[in-house]
């Protein structure tokens, strides 16, 4: 008899998962840009911040840290495990969260992304996010170099009552 592999699920992550988030974040961002477990804990201690993930079994495939402010959900960070990249995980995660966010009164995704993060910019553009503007020299790299932040947003799909 063959065991079926675990299904993908949308789950909430908690303070206790800070180390797992930091470990995945470290694989997703260059040195100096990844957040450590303490930074995740500090963020998750804010009432407006929460973390959600697409998981399979015990594995986090992709996770997002969100800050909700009235009717906007700001993506503080988003990362997909290297082994799960370009298989639609991040897209399914964001899309899968929309119904519950819309239900709680959120109407718009918001984020900023570094101008030199070509893969993420392409991801957001291909998933319907539009560019609203830029913040000059917003990010500082380890070498002291400054990089603009590109501000993006996307309206959430209204849920049709059935």
Ligand X SMILES: CC(C)(COP(=O)(O)OP(=O)(O)OC[C@H]1O[C@@H](n2cnc3c(N)ncnc32)[C@H](O)[C@@H]1OP(=O)(O)O)[C@@H](O)C(=O)NCCC(=O)NCCS
Return the number of the residue (18 or 89) whose C-beta is nearest ligand X: 89
CA distances (Å), origin 77, targets 3, 23, 37, 158: 34, 14, 14, 24
Return the number of the residue (106 or 120) whose C-beta is nearest ligand X: 120
Pick one of 7, 86, 136, 158: the residue that binds ligand X (CB under 6 A).
86
Report which residue's Cβ sits closest to ligand X.
119
CA distance 7 to 126: 26
Contact between 87 and ligand X by CB under 6 A: the answer reads yes
Please, how many CA atoms are within 13 Å of residue 122, restricted to the half-sphere of its CB?
5
CA distance 84 to 100: 24
CA distance 13 to 55: 10
Contact between 91 and ligand X by CB under 6 A: the answer reads yes
Per-residue x/- track, 30-69, ligand X (CB under 6 A): --------------------------------x-------
Segment contacting ligand X by CB under 6 A, of 83-91, 95-103, 128-136, 139-147: 83-91
């Amino acid at each position: 008899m063959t065991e079926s592999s675990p299904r993908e699920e949308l789950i909430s992550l908690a303070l206790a998962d800070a180390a797992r988030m930091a470990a995945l974040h470290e694989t997703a961002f260059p040195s100096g840009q990844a957040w450590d477990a303490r930074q995740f804990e500090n963020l998750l201690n804010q009432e407006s911040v929460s973390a959600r993930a697409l998981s399979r079994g015990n594995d986090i495939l992709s996770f997002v840290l969100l800050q909700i402010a009235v009717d906007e959900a700001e993506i503080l960070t988003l990362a997909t495990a290297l082994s799960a990249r370009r298989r639609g995980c991040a897209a399914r995660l964001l899309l899968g969260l929309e119904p519950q966010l819309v239900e709680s009164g959120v109407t718009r995704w918001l984020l900023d992304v570094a101008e030199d993060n070509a893969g993420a910019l392409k991801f957001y553009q291909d998933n319907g996010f539009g560019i609203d503007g830029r913040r000059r020299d917003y990010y500082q790299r380890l070498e002291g170099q400054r990089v603009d932040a590109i501000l993006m947003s996307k309206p959430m799909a209204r849920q049709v009552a059935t």
